[in-house]
Amino acid sequence: MFDLVIEGGLVVDGTGVPGQVSDVAVAGNRVVALGPAGSAGSSRRRVRAEGLVVAPGFIDIHTHLDAQVFWDPYCTPSSLYGITSVFAGNCGFSIAPLGDGDGGYMRRLLAEVEAIPVEALEKGVPWSWKSFAEYLDAVERARPAVNIGFMAGHSAIRRAVLGEDHAIPDPGDQARHEMQRLLSAAMEAGAMGFSSSWNSIHVDGEGDPVPSRSADSDELVGLCAVLAGYPGSQLEFIPTVGPFTDAHVDLMIRMALAAGAPLNWNVLIPQDRQLVEQQLEVSDRAARQGATIVALTYPGPTAVRASAKSRLFRSVPGWGPLLAMAVHDAVAALGQAETRTELRARATDPPSALSRAIDSLVVTDGHSPTTAALAGRTLGDIASEWGTDAFEVLFDFWQLDRMRTGLMPEPMANSIESWEVRYETWADPRVIIGASDAGAHVHMLSTFDYPAALLHMARESERMSLAGVIQQLTSIPASLYRLADRGRLEVGSIADMVIFDPATVGPGRPGWRDDLPAGEGRIYRQPEGIHHVIVGGTEIVGPEGLTGERPGQVLRRGVHTGMVAP
């Protein structure tokens, strides 16, 4: 008798081959039989999937769920989107290893660079480890619902070795060797690889460059060389914002060659064709030298939630004093006609970015009965209905919501030209789709929606087949990260699966939840059309939402990885 049979769904196996209507039988945590609909024998549980797609679980290689997994072992909303395996510790910002007393520094760093509320980090994470091995053990005790692996982060390692002197450009041979020793220890414990950042906007809680930005190329390459002793390792790196210099290209190739590992860089924004082509050329140059480098991209235009604290409003001359007030005082000031008149004049004469965008701002979340009922509509549309202008609507909303209203400007890279470049990147072998940043930028981004967003966009545009989309979400990242028995739905594979309606699947509408530790909130979406999510043969998401089951594994290099053929 099987433990689970999924009956009559369109099985799309992740290889890029069109699907076939089949039954899928599971025993324990593995797929043990695939056959024509109605062929599976008796089972302890059956799921009817007629009219639905059955696919391998989606794999997200770029998250910052290192902390969230402790207060939310379901890793929502990612798990709701069919993501069954995630990787954290990216951009150099793992939260292990930790030097003595460095927990506070890392909390402030994450709050600044990844926009995770520091109060949530303080209340929701045990901070009970020093070594990377102790951290992985702590995650195992948290019993995640999804599979989760971790990169060892450069900033964490450099801070653990140098402490408050982490900004020293040349720390000397002894310190370099100690960094390499810590990275080796992390790899021995099961780290998936090494991550780092030279991104010029990455600053810590004191406003100084994050530790990895002080490292020179020799330090980076020396750390990457540690990975050569650990087959199946990965590299993740942010070289810069904008065009690559020859120095950036040469460094990334040296890193990949030293490690004997693929490197994925973050993040490709398909906006300017010339820039995209220049950035992707690094993959071609690397290939000619025997290295593998791929670009990470979000598949659609990136929409960023704006709040009263956002630059969109703070950049308007004369708005700063109001936005810096205590909430009670700001709400009171907005009740005065002269305040509103002054704010409008400051925004429109001369015209500001806000004045050009305000009519098209979409309400993502309201925090009063009136504003919540208008979520999903633009300020301009509401203004027309109310017989006023969008500025008056904004000020009314801020009063009603006590300055908490969420608004979404026009997404970045949303021009016709950008879309044409984007369509090309979907199937470009030099590009991998993801860049979710799940767990980070919780007030701003909902890019954790990328699987459903890509399925929706591909359906509407007819630019990629269903089988092609699923391959991008499953076997391609699984092959890059050398995951054993994941990313394909075949006999013998781990039974990580997602079951969805191909006609209705989509990212859903953004909203808001106050469900983080210490009463903090986050932008939130729930997908449409995803019916079941299964991890290791156990359903973690059903038609009614989370099931309460937590069967996920901490993925460790050397245990859950192998040399998987692409």
Q: Average of pLDDT values for 198-205?
A: 96
Report in angstroms the alpha-carbon separations of 21 from 35, 55, 473: 9, 12, 20
Mean pLDDT of the chain: 96
At 562 the pLDDT is 82
Q: How far is the C-alpha of 433 from the C-alpha of 564, rounded, in Å?
A: 19
443 pLDDT more than 80: yes
245 pLDDT more than 70: yes
Output DSSP code: residue 298.
-
Give the pLDDT confidence of 390-440 residue by residue, as tens digits: 999 999 999 999 999 999 999 988 888 899 999 999 999 999 999 999 999
Residues with Cβ within 8 Å of 238's Cβ and at least 6 positions away in sequence, in order, are 91, 196, 197, 198, 199, 202, 265, 266, 267
Which residues are 522's β-sheet partners?
A: 513
Residues with Cβ within 8 Å of 536's Cβ and at least 6 positions away in sequence, in order, are 29, 147, 494, 495, 496, 551, 552, 553
83-88 and 545-546 beta bridge pairing:
unpaired
Task: Report all structural domains of the chain as residue ranges with CATH numbers, in order of start.
Answer: 4-56+513-555 (2.30.40.10), 59-304+412-484 (3.20.20.140), 311-408 (no CATH)
Q: How far is the C-alpha of 272 from the C-alpha of 422, rounded, in Å?
A: 10
Give the pLDDT confidence of 280-327 residue by residue, as tens digits: 999 999 999 999 999 999 999 998 999 998 989 999 999 999 999 999
144 pLDDT more than 70: yes
pTM confidence score: 0.95
- Secondary structure of residue 264 in the 3-state scheme: strand
Q: Average of pLDDT values for 184-208?
A: 97
Q: Give the confidence band of 37 by pLDDT, cuts at 50, 70, 90.
A: confident
Question: Which of 234, 72, 76 shows the shortest CA–CA distance to 150?
Answer: 234
CB 25, CB 31: distance < 8 Å: yes
At 39 the pLDDT is 87
565 pLDDT more than 70: no
Amino acid identity of residue 33, one-letter, is A
Q: How far is the C-alpha of 134 from the C-alpha of 442, rounded, in Å?
A: 27
Rg over alpha carbons for the chain, rounded to the nearest Å, is 24
CB 438, CB 64: distance < 8 Å: yes
Residues composing the chain = 566
Report in angstroms the alpha-carbon separations of 214 from 203, 206, 454, 457, 469: 11, 15, 37, 40, 39
- Secondary structure of residue 494 in the 3-state scheme: strand
Query: Is the peptide bond preceding residue 77 cis, with omega within 30 degrees of 0?
Result: yes
Helical packing angle, 450-461 and 416-426, nearest 10°? 110
522 pLDDT more than 60: yes
At 564 the pLDDT is 42
Give the pLDDT confidence of 354-401 residue by residue, as tens digits: 999 999 999 999 999 999 999 999 999 999 999 999 999 999 999 999
At 425 the pLDDT is 96
CB 166, CB 103: distance < 8 Å: no
Q: How far is the C-alpha of 346 from the C-alpha of 321, rounded, in Å?
A: 12
Question: Which of 126, 118, 115 shows the shortest CA–CA distance to 91?
Answer: 115
Output DSSP code: residue 306.
B
Residue with tokens 């909390």: 107
Question: Which of 324, 323, 393 shows the shortest CA–CA distance to 360?
Answer: 393
At 38 the pLDDT is 85
471 pLDDT more than 50: yes
Give the pLDDT confidence of 38-49 residue by residue, as tens digits: 888 899 999 999
CB 184, CB 550: distance < 8 Å: no
